[in-house]
């Protein structure tokens, strides 16, 4: 059984044995599936399984821990701008506990992955309030602009609330509140000159109130 199938089957013992026999597997790219053969680092692919509900966040942590113990690079090798690191993948794929693990193992929190967004941008856009809190403990650049949209994490949070929220706005409010308390500048516009307020309508009184509180 190859390493991708071992991961998908949560075969902890099999993963352990495979990595003990061939240490290079800890950092060898894995295809997404038989159709999408694009390869990504194992620590990234583990996050894909969380997003796909193949296994739980906790089970992913257990597998990622085995990989790290066998020499997996927490940053997934050479960091390339606009290519997701394992931490950015975890932030964008709702694998919060895996992200916590990567942070504890020294993952680069400032790397700009897809669209040039950092882990903080992606956690904010996905409404992952606990991960936003944890990332803020690492003192990132709170107003760092992404590459493609020249937007801040708080802009991503409001944009996510308006475009990605699937019924739990409270988690987005919590992200916005944490970012504001950490010193986020809500007035920085994006590349089009739009502010967070330009995205809001009459139905957004709750977030408007949150953004205008002193």
Q: Tell me the C-alpha distance between 100 and 135, whole Å.
A: 9
Question: What are 65-104's pLDDT values in tens digits?
Answer: 999 999 999 999 999 999 999 999 999 999 999 999 999 9
Q: Are 55 and 93 in contact (CB under 8 A)?
A: no
Model confidence at 214, pLDDT cuts 50, 70, 90, reads low
How is domain 109-214 classified at the architecture level of CATH? Alpha Horseshoe (1.25)
Is pTM beyond 0.95? Reply is yes
Average model confidence (pLDDT) across the chain = 96
What does the pLDDT read at residue 165? 87
Q: Domain ranges in the chain?
A: 1-78, 109-214
| CA nearest to 43, candidates 32, 20, 24, 27 | 27
31, containing H or E segment: strand 30-31
Q: Tell me the C-alpha distance between 13 and 100, whole Å.
A: 23
Q: Tell me the C-alpha distance between 61 and 69, whole Å.
A: 12
C-beta neighbour count of 57 within 10 angstroms? 20
Give the up-direction half-sphere exposure of residue 77: CA atoms within 13 A in the CB hemisphere.
Answer: 14
Question: What are 17-73's pLDDT values in tens digits?
Answer: 999 999 999 999 999 998 999 999 999 999 999 999 999 999 999 999 999 999 999
């Amino acid at each position: 059984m190859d390493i991708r199938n071992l991961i998908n089957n949560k075969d902890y013992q099999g993963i352990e044995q495979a990595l003990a026999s061939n240490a290079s597997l800890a950092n060898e790219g894995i295809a997404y599936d038989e159709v999408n053969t694009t390869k990504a680092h194992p620590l990234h692919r583990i996050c894909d399984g969380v997003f796909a509900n193949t296994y739980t966040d906790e089970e992913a942590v257990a597998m990622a821990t085995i990989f790290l113990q066998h020499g997996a690079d927490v940053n997934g090798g050479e960091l390339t701008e606009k290519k997701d690191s394992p931490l950015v993948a975890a932030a964008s794929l709702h694998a919060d506990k895996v992200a916590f693990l990567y942070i504890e193992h020294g993952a680069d929190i400032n790397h700009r992955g897809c669209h040039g967004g950092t882990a903080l941008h992606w956690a904010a856009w996905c409404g992952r309030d606990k991960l936003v809190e944890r990332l803020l403990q690492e003192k990132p650049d709170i107003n760092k602009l992404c590459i493609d949209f020249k937007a801040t994490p708080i802009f991503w949070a409001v944009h996510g609330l308006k475009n990605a929220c699937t019924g739990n706005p409270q988690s987005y409010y919590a992200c916005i509140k944490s970012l504001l308390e950490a010193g986020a500048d809500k007035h920085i516009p994006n590349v089009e000159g739009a502010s967070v307020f330009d995205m809001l309508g009459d139905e957004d009184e709750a977030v408007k109130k949150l953004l205008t509180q002193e």
